[in-house]
Structure 1
């Protein structure tokens, strides 16, 4: 079995979710409540919510990256997992609705700057921040497209995620690991998945899958 691993970043690899963290720091509680209600009722697309939340950040990128580097950690098991994937010649790609500037900075801080990732990015030099989406999908970045492409190339796409923005990718995965809101979604929809708390859990399950293939 040829496996291609795709993983969400915020809340899955990183802790905490960097976008949620920035949203809380630069928060406007009354507006946030109104925006949440509009998203829940379908009056507002998730990408519009994300653009609003990113637009709250009115600090220079360098200062924000420095702050995030001091407070954000990654799953302690993830570096070893990435090394294991490389040793097993299993491709690993990070997919995020977050910002490539933040992800690159954090990966480099943890000596993982060589890993491939795909994300949205910021319009250069803008303060307050302005997000540039990768595509026209509801979340601004269609993660499921990568899994579909991998499947068409003969791979069994595996997805790891934790949030509602991961639902479309989860539905396209042949092997699925879920926690948090994504796990709740899988249970509600009867979607086969493996619960996990760390990437060590994922590696142990994968070893059994590969051995039995």
Structure 2
């Protein structure tokens, strides 16, 4: 019997908005639109694009950047209930996020998730500009230069031992979706799954995910 495990994205999934884009739009440093466009269209890797975007922001604005990112994030409905359901069913829950530690950890703090189960990027404010650091890079099996490599984390939980469930919303979740046994998708990820014929269940909030998980459980 394989052990169920959830790999859940953060920006645009656990939160309703994309926090990185919200921060960059708010502070609006010159040249940010081009960098976003190049990252979305994959002319730049995620690591290169996100690193370049934050390098546009002065590290002296640290407090303002952190305050804005936390005050403007909204947690998607049903998140606490999903965590409660996972605990009751012994489903392991990991946050696999391309987001940055200074907003990911504070926003998740009320939910009691083990910090060792939260994977994200880090920010260094010690220089002139904000510098993003990458504690979870791609392994030898991924050449996408992800920054925070979701497939690398997933490969630590082999398919023969784990039933791998992915919840996501963006193109950065697609490689992970290809490795998953079950995919919950919305927004760009939903579109990409439709275009490529990858099976998925759509969700609007985490109540949808819980309902579907209960249905699957009752049939298994």
Using the size of structure 1 for normalisation, the TM-score is 0.89
Structure 1: tracts of 5 or more residues without a match: none
Q: Deviations over 1:12-56 (max 9, x none)?
A: 001221101011012245x23443554467543232111111222
Look up the match of 1:107: 108
Structure 2: tracts of 5 or more residues without a match: 139-143
Look up the match of 2:91: 90
Asked if residue 159 in structure 1 is aligned to residue 166 in structure 2, the reply is yes
Q: Quick one: structure 1 residues 208 and 169, their matched pair in 2 at CA, closer, same or farther if it must change by over 3 Å?
A: same
Tell me, in whole angstroms, the C-alpha distance in 1 between the residues paired with 2:103 and 2:38. 27
Give the match's secondary structure for 1:151.
Answer: coil
Alignment length, in residue pairs?
A: 210
Look up the match of 2:55: 55
Give the match's secondary structure for 1:156.
Answer: strand
1:172 to 174, 179, 195: 179
Give the match's secondary structure for 1:93.
Answer: strand
Tell me by how many angstroms 1:85 deviates: 0.6
Moved more, 156-165 or 130-139: 130-139
Look up the match of 2:188: 181
Tell me by how many angstroms 1:100 deviates: 1.8
Using the size of structure 2 for normalisation, the TM-score is 0.87
Look up the match of 2:213: 206
* Contact residue 80 and residue 111 of structure 2 kept, 8 A: yes
Q: Quick one: structure 1 residues 130 and 162, their matched pair in 2 at CA, closer, same or farther if it must change by over 3 Å?
A: same
Q: Deviations over 1:110-130 (max 9, x none)?
A: x11434210110125344211
Moved more, 95-104 or 44-53: 44-53
Give the match's secondary structure for 1:15.
Answer: coil
Equivalent residues in 2 for 1:16-165, closer than 5 Å: 16-28=17-29, 31-36=31-36, 38-39=38-39, 43-58=43-58, 59-108=60-109, 111-115=110-114, 116-133=117-134, 134-136=136-138, 137-152=144-159, 154-165=161-172
* Contact residue 60 and residue 127 of structure 1 kept, 8 A: no
